């Protein structure tokens, strides 16, 4: 099944501290992940499974790399979807932040520290077995997300998300990101994750 490239141009001109040039560059990177995912899926259908083993084989290598463009495309979509300043954190989000971090501000400080510590992703997620709210680091796109976690807020901390606007100042970008959260989307994800 071919994954379609989603159009996020509705974000242009709507974000504080993230320019249209930065967004356009970021959209192009996202599109590359979708195209590569489709290419790998097509090649997987044709690969000779009988020639594969742990050491090497086209099928094995395609399987090993599959999650990079898969997560790269989906994480970008979740990230773009939770942009455009709208709404405010729900009572449930604030309660979970307070329960698991001490306060909403402490959750935010932890999310920022998590983002400063990783060139990759920060995923604020619900752990399904405990209902705990956590900030998870993802290295690349496919390394680090524990099982039993449902993403509710996605922060892209790769340089491609901010370098045109903020150079190497990841912290300034993270501060801008917090101003652009679409809390309506985050709150809806949280409701679904905690049903």
pLDDT for position 144: 84
Residue with tokens 């994954």: 3
Report the candidate in 63, 66, 43 with the shortest Cα–Cα distance to residue 54. Answer: 63
Residues 93-103 pLDDT 10s: 999 999 999 99
pLDDT for position 185: 98
Angle, alpha carbons 59-64-53 (nearest 5°): 45
């Amino acid at each position: 099944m071919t994954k379609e490239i989603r159009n996020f141009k509705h974000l242009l001109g709507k974000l504080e501290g993230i320019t249209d040039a930065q967004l356009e560059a970021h959209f192009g990177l996202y599109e590359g992940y979708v195209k590569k995912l489709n290419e790998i899926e097509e090649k997987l259908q044709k690969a000779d499974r009988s020639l594969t083993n742990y050491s090497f084989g086209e099928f094995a290598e395609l399987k090993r790399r599959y999650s990079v463009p898969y997560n790269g495309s989906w994480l970008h979509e979740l990230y773009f979807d939770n942009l455009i300043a709208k709404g405010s954190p729900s009572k449930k989000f604030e309660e979970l932040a307070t329960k698991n971090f001490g306060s909403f501000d402490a959750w935010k400080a932890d999310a920022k520290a998590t983002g400063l510590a990783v060139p990759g992703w920060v995923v604020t997620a619900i752990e399904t077995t405990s209902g705990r709210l956590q900030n998870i680091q993802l290295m690349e796109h496919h390394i680090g997300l524990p099982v039993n976690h449902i993403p509710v807020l996605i922060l892209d901390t790769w340089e491609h998300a901010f370098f045109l606007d903020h150079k190497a100042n990841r912290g300034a970008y993270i501060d801008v990101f917090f101003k652009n959260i679409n809390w309506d989307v985050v709150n809806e994800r949280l409701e679904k994750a905690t049903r």
